[in-house]
Amino acid sequence: MARPGYLSIYADERTQRIFDEFTKEKGVSKSTVLSEMMQTYMLAQDEELYLKLLKNSLNISKTKELITTREDDTAINDYIFMKLGTAYSTSDEELNGEETIQAYMRAIEQHGYTWFSTMSLHTGMAKDKIKFYNQTIKSGEVVKILFALGMGINDVCYSAKIQEIVSSRDEISCPGDPSTIPAEFGVEERGKIWFKLTELEEETEITAEALKFRKDDGSVRNAITKSQFHFGYVYIG
């Protein structure tokens, strides 16, 4: 069974070799290049159909959400919020949100911290936002990430302290010690946003019902129950 999000493309040996050398010289990931190639092809062949399908898959509100979240550089120590979906181990085993959290908790127990990656924002976090959070951490303030689970729960279930944030427009390898990544995901894991986490534990005080999004004061509970929203900056309303 094919792994969701992955696509097999045939090319002759010479083309593959040139493509390998090209991406290496340019310093870009193959997945990024192929994704852009597919979008360009569809636009060239039938722009109207492509845009129609794109709008159907994202919907206008989702598109606005991605743009505003990416560009949000508000200098406020908000909670970072993530709703966890299905993840895949290096052996293509499906892990639900709870199983993913348990894997990271084991890594923290073993190493004292772990590096958590996500592809939630297409172009990563805004540079000013990253700078603000990292400066806040260095000043001694606590920066926290809240993890919500789906599976019919749709509520905040875990939280962790963030010790550092690294982000890029392209997929990057772990910016720290890759051995602290859970074995389920492997040392070669790549992501556009990396969080160095400690003190990942069950959250017993903060609920989705009490949270609002900084960008529009919208209800977190409603968003994660009725849509695919899974990343944002939130505060207790």
Q: Which domains does the chain have, with CATH numbers?
A: 13-58 (no CATH), 74-236 (3.10.590)
pLDDT tens digits for 141-156? 999 999 999 878 889 9
CA distance readout (Å), 27 to 3, 72, 170, 175, 188:
25, 27, 10, 16, 16
pLDDT band at 132 (very low <50, low <70, confident <90, very high): very high
pLDDT at 186: 95
199 conformational bin, left if phi > 0, alpha if psi -120 to 50, beta if neither: left
**Do the beta carbons of residue 150 and residue 83 sit within 8 Å?**
yes
**Do the beta carbons of residue 148 and residue 206 sit within 8 Å?**
no
Q: What is the DSSP letter of 209?
A: G
Res. 138: pLDDT tops 80: yes
Higher pLDDT, 183 or 43: 183
- What does DSSP say about strands 144-149 and 155-173: parallel, antiparallel, or unpaired? antiparallel
Res. 54: pLDDT tops 70: yes
Res. 6: pLDDT tops 70: no
3-state secondary structure 165-206: EEEEEEEEECCCCHHHCCCCCCCCCEEEEEEEEEEEEECCCC
Res. 67: pLDDT tops 60: no
pLDDT tens digits for 196-229? 999 999 999 999 999 999 988 999 999 888 776 6
Q: 3-state DSSP: the chain helix, strand, coil percent, rounded to 5?
A: 40, 25, 35
pLDDT band at 74 (very low <50, low <70, confident <90, very high): low
